[in-house]
Amino acid sequence: MRIGLTYDLKREYLEMGFSEEETAEFDSDETIYYLKEALGSLGYEVVRIGNIYELTKHLNNGERWDLVFNICEGLYGRSREAQVPALLEAYNIPYTFSDPLTLSLSLDKAMAKRIVRDAGVPTPEFFSITSVKDLEEKNLGRDINFPLFVKPALEGTGKGISTDSIVWDKDELKKQCMKLLIKYRQPVLVERYLPGKEFTAGIVGTGEDAQVIGIMEVKFLKNAEASIYSYNNKKFYEDRVDYALEKNKKLINEISKIALSSYRVLGCRDAGRVDLKADKDDRLYFIEINPLAGLHPVHSDLPIICSKVGITYRELISEIVKSAWERKGKSVHCLSLL
**Which CATH number belongs to the domain containing residue 301 in this structure?**
3.30.470.20
pLDDT of 142 strictly over 70? no
Q: Is residue 312 part of a domain?
A: yes
Q: In the predicted model, what is the mean pLDDT of the chain?
A: 94
In a domain, 111, yes or no: no
Asked if 25 and 51 sit in the same domain, the reply is: yes
Pick the closest to residue 262 from 291, 292, 286 (CA basis): 286
Q: Are residues 169 and 92 in the same domain?
A: no
In total, how many domains does the chain have? Answer: 3
Whether residues 319 and 207 fall in one domain:
yes
Q: 133 in a domain, yes or no?
A: yes
Q: Do both 161 and 211 map to the same domain?
A: no
Whether the bond between 291 and the residue before it is cis, its omega within 30 degrees of 0, is: no
The model's confidence at residue 138, banded by pLDDT at 50, 70 and 90, is confident
Same domain, 282 and 205: yes
Give the pLDDT score at 231: 82
CA distances from 320 to 38, 102, 125, 326 (A): 12, 17, 33, 10
Comparing 5 with 337, the larger pLDDT belongs to: 5
Instruction: Mark whether 317 and 211 lie in a shared domain.
Output: yes
Among 151, 166, 192, residue at a domain's last position: 192
DSSP-derived secondary structure letter, 152 = E
Q: Which range of residues forms the domain containing residue 13?
A: 2-96
- The percentage of the chain sitting over the pLDDT mark of 70, rounded to a whole number, equals 96
Q: For residue range 282-291, what is the model confidence (pLDDT) as tens digits?
A: 999 999 999 9
Residues 214 and 321 in one domain: yes
- 56 and 139 assigned to the same domain: no
Q: Nearest-CA neighbor of 187 among 267, 266, 131?
A: 131
Q: Same domain, yes or no, for 207 and 284?
A: yes
pLDDT of 331 reads: 43
Q: Kindly state whether residue 207 falls inside one of the protein's structural domains.
A: yes
Dist CA 273 CA 278 (whole Å):
17
Domain boundary among 192, 211, 228: 192
CATH code, domain with 149: 3.30.1490.20
Global confidence as pTM: 0.93
Residue 14 lies in a domain: yes
Between 222 and 183, the more confident residue is: 183
Rounded average pLDDT over 106-133? 96
Is residue 102, in this structure, part of any structural domain at all?
no
For residue 334, pLDDT over 50 is answered with: no
% the chain with pLDDT above 90: 86
Instruction: Please state the rounded mean pLDDT for residues 183-206.
Output: 97
* 3 pLDDT more than 90: yes
Residue 95 per-residue DSSP state: B
Of residues 330 and 64, more confidently modeled: 64
